[in-house]
């Protein structure tokens, strides 16, 4: 299989879906001329023209609103919010309308929208360009929340998101765009709501999301050298959550660590932890442990922003504690 | 416009007025559950603009939507029973009086002030790109013109030249806040100039004027000249909601002065002057009242949605299943 970057995998997904269905279109700030901040739509304006690739003003409410209206008319918008931190401006439309219209129309209106954005720390952008805000959306009935971690997954999940008829909040991680991985040349989809076991193991289950999956895998490798076997699960979709894969794993290992870049309080990490406690309580050898960001705004610069979020070292330590 | 036309516009307004009064009575009996936003006094806006649209045209309304909905042609049965939370309502009784959708009639409303305006751009984009020849009308109030969504929507609609008619139904009050105090410019229509659009203001209590302006702008939009923003000057004769503390923000004298120029009174006087008999107008009024009485008797017998139905349409199913909300 060819090895490509995460950003290129996104570009391939866009191309394939736009070729397959002319109702699919991409809009957002600088998705056309620039080809997006991380070049994931490079060349698409030239190839598909402005009907399918639309640069917009810096108007996140209008981007989200335009997505809702056009989707109600049968188009399939991919509405890009350049940084998830800017999504606050689009929240009204997303939460009060996109998430509600299918129900308010008695099932008549469908809104096949991908609200595509990127979040997280790692590029030294401080507290208004580095947040992990996925938890907000998990708590809104009517939305699907996707957080891919590999080039293979991002391509397959994005294609599935475009083809599904619900509004999806599709959150990439800014530290992942230049990560490389194998991506099949033949067409494939990764289904929404299905987790992936990124590494099989027997002693501890590590549930990690987005960028944290990469740290979890590195930590698992180090722990393997010391004789500890970790199973790393990437839920890929925060909601709907693939509880079966998680429960099956923890039933086997009896220990579970949940790793997210978002702060723990009131977050999805608590949801994942509760799922394990509710379904695996009798088989748990230790209470579930969460490893999340410190409860602070992301500090500026290269050093502190790495220290306040989980990393390979802190995951190794947390797993060792679970084994005590 | 001849008297026959005015007569039909008048009877359309009469239906909205009597419908509003029926809702008021149902609210007093606690058969409408949420805060009720009366429409009395603004009927010439709904009839002038919404009444002009075809079923295929899109109408985005506000938190005071029932006049717009009925004027657009959404069946009164489904509007009324939606407000009463019954299963036969257009949103299955799950939306209530401020947020409902009738997809078949392309009617959408919601209770967040200003947030329908960005959505209108999407309808406009689809109409334009698919060359459907339809029009999207987006109603909003003086209060909405102070939101960020107003600006984002008008700018996008203007740069993309979208087939959208934004209609500011200026009823002088955003809840208790007088427009003359809370809107920084004298005319909201003047804000259109900031987006390179014409400044269009119409007497929102003169139904012939609202219809004339609506017909002109809609025709121009169908020819590709959109978008437009028009401000219709009217007056909310009742409180923001039934029972609001009106004395805190306006005087009885002010309301009474506007009652003298409310749209049904103006239209009726004009019809009488033109030779239409009072008897004929009163007979038509009685017919509307009778019809609504029958509607009410039917409405109170309708079922409420079940718990199962309240989670029926949260999501479209995924291909592999797995979206269960119960």
Q: How many domains does chain B have?
A: 1
- In this structure, the number of other CB atoms found within 10 A of the CB of residue B249 comes to 16
* Mean pLDDT in residue range B9-30: 97
**B319 in a structural domain:** no
Domain co-membership, A35 together with A173? yes
Does A97 sit within 8 Å of B110, measured CB to CB? yes
**Could you give the percent of chain A with pLDDT greater than 90?**
100
Q: Which residues, 6+ apart, have CB-to-CB distance to B170 below 8 Å?
A: B141, B142, B179, B188, B204, B231, B232, B233, B234
Q: Mean pLDDT score of chain B, rounded to an integer?
A: 95
Identify the domain containing residue A174 by its residue range: 3-182
**A101 in a structural domain:** yes
Give residue B323's pLDDT.
62
Does A59 sit within 8 Å of B156, measured CB to CB? yes
Does B99 sit within 8 Å of A164, measured CB to CB? no
* Mean pLDDT in residue range B229-257: 96
Question: Which parts of chain A fold into alpha helices (H)?
Answer: 6-20, 44-48, 60-72, 91, 101-104, 134-138, 151-163, 211-225, 243-253, 268-280, 304-307, 312-323
Whether the bond into A165 is cis, omega within 30 of 0: no
What are A73-124's pLDDT values in tens digits? 999 999 999 999 999 999 999 999 999 999 999 999 999 999 999 999 999 9
Q: CA dist B212 to A29, A255, B81, B141, B215, Å?
A: 39, 73, 32, 20, 5
- Scanning the structure block, which residue is given the tokens 């797993």? A319
For chain A, give the number of residues: 324
Q: Which residues, 6+ apart, have CB-to-CB distance to B68 below 8 Å?
A: B46, B50, B59, B61, B62, B107, B109, B139
* Alpha-carbon distance B151 to nearest alpha carbon in chain A (angstroms): 9
Q: Mean pLDDT score of chain A, rounded to an integer?
A: 97
Does A166 sit within 8 Å of B112, measured CB to CB? no
Confidence of residue B270 (pLDDT cuts 50, 70, 90): very high
Does B94 sit within 8 Å of A101, measured CB to CB? no
First to last CA, chain B: 56
**B54 in a structural domain:** yes
**Residue B273 in contact with partner chain A when CB distance is under 8 A:** no
Give residue B3's pLDDT.
43
Task: Write the residue in A68, A74, A105 that is nearest to B119 by C-beta.
Answer: A68
**Residue B92 in contact with partner chain A when CB distance is under 8 A:** yes
B155 neighbourhood in chain A, CB within 8 Å = 57, 59, 62
Confidence of residue B317 (pLDDT cuts 50, 70, 90): confident
Burial B186-222 (b: 16+ CB within 10 A, else e): eebbebbeebebeebbbbbbbbbbbbebbeebbeebe
For an interface test with B, the pick among A61, A97, A236, A237 (most B C-beta atoms closer than 10 Å) comes out as A61
Threshold 0.90, pTM exceeds: yes
Task: Write the residue in B90, B123, B152 that is nearest to A61 by C-beta.
Answer: B152
Give residue B319's pLDDT.
75
CB contact at 8 A, B56 and B106 = yes
Domain co-membership, A167 together with A231? no
Domain co-membership, A178 together with A42? yes
Task: Write the residue in B102, B312, B318 that is nearest to A164 by C-beta.
Answer: B318
Does B94 sit within 8 Å of A97, measured CB to CB? no
B96 neighbourhood in chain A, CB within 8 Å = none
For residues B133 and A221, give the distance between their C-alpha atoms in angstroms, rounded to a whole number: 61
Domain co-membership, A114 together with A216? no
For residues B224 and B182, give the distance between their C-alpha atoms in angstroms, rounded to a whole number: 34
Does B118 sit within 8 Å of A93, measured CB to CB? yes
Last residue of a domain, one of A182, A212, A237: A182
Residue B1 has pLDDT above 70, yes or no: no
Identify the domain containing residue B185 by its residue range: 3-311
Domain co-membership, A160 together with A207? no
**B77 in a structural domain:** yes
A129 counts as catalytic: yes
ipTM over 0.90: yes
Does B155 sit within 8 Å of A62, measured CB to CB? yes
Chain A nearest-CA residue for B115: A93
**Residue B122 in contact with partner chain A when CB distance is under 8 A:** yes
What are A270-321's pLDDT values in tens digits? 999 999 999 999 999 999 999 999 999 999 999 999 999 999 999 999 999 9
Q: What is the CATH number of the domain that holds A105?
A: 3.40.50.970
Give residue B321's pLDDT.
66
Domain co-membership, A154 together with A239? no
**A191 in a structural domain:** no
What are A210-236's pLDDT values in tens digits? 999 999 999 999 999 999 999 999 999
**Residue B101 in contact with partner chain A when CB distance is under 8 A:** yes
* Mean pLDDT in residue range A163-186: 97
B158 neighbourhood in chain A, CB within 8 Å = none
* Mean pLDDT in residue range A242-269: 98
Residue B4 has pLDDT above 50, yes or no: no
Q: How many domains does chain A have?
A: 2
Q: What is the CATH number of the domain that holds B239?
A: 3.40.50.970
C-alpha angle with apex A213: A209 to A218, nearest 5 degrees?
160
Domain co-membership, A163 together with A282? no
Catalytic residue among A97, A129, A173, A279: A129
Give residue B318's pLDDT.
85
**Could you give the percent of chain B with pLDDT greater than 90?**
95
**B212 in a structural domain:** yes
Give residue B325's pLDDT.
47
Is the four-CA dihedral B206, B209, B212, B217 of positive or negative sign? negative
Domain co-membership, A200 together with A175? no
Give residue A3's pLDDT.
98
């Amino acid at each position: 299989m060819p090895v490509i970057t995460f950003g290129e995998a996104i570009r391939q997904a866009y191309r394939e879906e736009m070729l397959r269905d002319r109702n699919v279109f991409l809009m957002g700030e600088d998705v056309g001329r620039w080809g997006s901040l991380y070049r994931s739509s490079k060349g698409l304006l030239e190839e598909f023209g402005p009907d399918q690739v639309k640069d917009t003003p810096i108007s996140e409410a209008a981007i989200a609103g335009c997505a809702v209206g056009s989707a109600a008319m049968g188009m399939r918008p991919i509405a890009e919010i350049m940084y998830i931190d800017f999504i606050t401006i689009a929240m009204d439309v997303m939460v009060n309308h996109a998430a509600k219209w299918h129900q308010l129309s008695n099932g008549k209106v469908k809104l096949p929208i991908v609200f595509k954005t990127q979040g997280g720390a790692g590029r030294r952008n401080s507290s208004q360009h580095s947040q992990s805000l996925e938890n907000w959306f998990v708590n809104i009935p009517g939305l699907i929340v996707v957080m891919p971690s590999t080039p293979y997954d991002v391509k397959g999940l994005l294609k599935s998101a475009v083809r599904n008829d619900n509004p999806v909040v599709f959150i990439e991680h800014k530290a992942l765009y230049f990560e490389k991985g194998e991506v099949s040349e033949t067409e494939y989809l990764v289904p929404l709501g299905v987790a992936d076991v990124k590494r099989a193991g027997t002693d501890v289950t590590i549930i990690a999301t987005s960028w944290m999956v990469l740290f979890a895998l590195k930590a698992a490798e180090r722990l393997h050298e010391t004789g500890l076997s970790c199973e790393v699960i990437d839920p890929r979709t925060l909601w709907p959550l693939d509880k079966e894969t998680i429960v099956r794993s923890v039933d086997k290992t009896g220990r579970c660590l949940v790793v997210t870049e978002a702060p723990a309080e009131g977050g999805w990490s608590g949801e994942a932890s509760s799922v394990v406690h509710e379904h695996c309580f009798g088989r748990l050898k230790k209470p579930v442990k969460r490893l999340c960001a410190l409860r602070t705004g992301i500090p500026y610069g290269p050093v502190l922003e790495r220290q306040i979020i989980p990393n390979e070292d802190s995951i190794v330590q947390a797993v060792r504690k679970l084994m005590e | 416009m001849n008297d026959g036309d005015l007569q039909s516009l008048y009877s359309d307004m009469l239906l909205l007025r009597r419908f509003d009064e029926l809702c008021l009575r149902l609210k007093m009996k606690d058969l409408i559950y949420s805060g009720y936003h009366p429409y009395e006094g603004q009927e010439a806006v709904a009839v002038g603009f919404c009444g002009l649209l075809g079923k295929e045209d899109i109408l985005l309304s506000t938190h005071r939507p029932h006049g717009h909905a009925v004027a657009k042609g959404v069946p009164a049965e489904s509007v009324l029973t939606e407000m009463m939370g019954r299963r036969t309502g257009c949103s299955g009784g799950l939306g209530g009086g401020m947020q409902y959708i009738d997809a078949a009639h392309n009617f959408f409303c919601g209770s967040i002030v200003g947030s329908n305006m960005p959505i209108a751009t999407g309808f406009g984009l689809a109409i334009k790109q698919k060359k459907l020849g339809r029009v999207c009308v987006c109603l909003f109030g003086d209060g909405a013109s102070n939101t960020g969504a107003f600006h984002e929507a008008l700018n996008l609609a203007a740069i993309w030249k979208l087939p959208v008619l934004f209609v500011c139904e200026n009823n002088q009050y955003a809840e208790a806040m007088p427009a003359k105090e809370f809107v920084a410019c004298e005319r909201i229509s003047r804000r259109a100039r900031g987006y390179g659009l014409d400044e269009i203001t119409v007497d929102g209590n003169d139904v012939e004027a609202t219809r004339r302006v609506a017909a002109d702008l809609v025709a121009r939009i169908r020819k590709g000249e959109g978008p437009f923003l028009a401000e219709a000057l009217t007056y909310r004769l009742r409180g923001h909601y039934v029972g609001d503390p009106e004395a805190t923000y306006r005087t009885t004298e002010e309301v009474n002065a506007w009652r003298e120029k409310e749209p049904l009174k103006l239209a009726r006087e004009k019809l009488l002057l033109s030779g239409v008999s009072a008897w004929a107008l009163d007979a038509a009024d009685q017919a509307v009242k009778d019809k609504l009485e029958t509607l009410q008797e039917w409405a109170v017998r309708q079922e409420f949605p079940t718990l199962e139905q309240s989670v029926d349409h949260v999501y479209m199913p995924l291909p592999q299943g797995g979206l269960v909300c119960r």
